Amino acid sequence: MRRSCSYSEVESGLWYAFVAKLPMRNRNSPTSTKFSERVTGDGPPEDALGPGAIILRGFAASEETELLSALQHVAARAPFRHMVTPGGFRMSVAMTNCGSLGWVTDRTGYRYAAADPESGLPWPPMPESFLRLATGAAARGGFNGYVPDVCLVNRYEPGAKLSLHQDKDEQDFTQPIVSVSLGIPAVFLFGGLSRADNTQRIRLEHGDVIVWGGPARLRYHGILPLKEGHHPLMGRRRINLTFRKAA
Ligand code: MD3
Ligand code: FE
Taking alpha carbons only, the member of 109, 113, 105 closest to residue 82 is 105
For a substitution probing ligand 1, which of 55, 85, 167 has the most ligand atoms within 8 Å of its CB? 167
Taking alpha carbons only, the member of 245, 225, 74 closest to residue 170 is 245
- Minimum-distance ligand 1 atom for the alpha carbon of 190: 1
Check residue 14 and give its pLDDT: 34
Helices (H), 3-140: 7-10, 14-19, 64-77, 128-140
Q: Could you report the per-residue pLDDT of 79-107, keeping only the tens digit for each?
A: 999 999 999 999 999 999 999 999 999 99
Check residue 48 and give its pLDDT: 54
CA of 21 to the centre of ligand 1 (A): 25
Check residue 62 and give its pLDDT: 96
Residues whose CB is less than 8 angstroms from the CB of residue 245 and which lie 6 or more positions away in sequence, other chains included:
146, 147, 148, 149, 150, 170, 172, 175
CA distance 215 to 12: 7
Amino acid at site 222 = G
C-beta 105 within 6 A of ligand 1: no
Sheet order of strands, 200-204 included:
162-165, 221-223, 186-190, 200-204
Check residue 49 and give its pLDDT: 77
Spans of the chain below 50 pLDDT: 1-47
CA of 44 to the centre of ligand 1 (A): 23
Q: Which residues of 141-180 are buried (b: 16+ CB within 10 A; e: fewer)?
A: bbbeebebbbbbbbbbbeebbbeeeebebbeebebbbbbb
CA of 165 to the centre of ligand 2 (A): 6
Residues whose CB is less than 8 angstroms from the CB of residue 105 and which lie 6 or more positions away in sequence, other chains included:
83, 84, 85, 86, 91, 111
Nearest C-alpha to atom 23 of ligand 1 is from which residue? 217
Domains, in order of start, for the chain = 7-25+39-244 (2.60.120.590)
CA distance 221 to 192: 8
C-beta 54 within 6 A of ligand 1: no
C-beta 155 within 6 A of ligand 1: no
Please, which residues bridge with residue 112 across strands?
103
Check residue 50 and give its pLDDT: 84
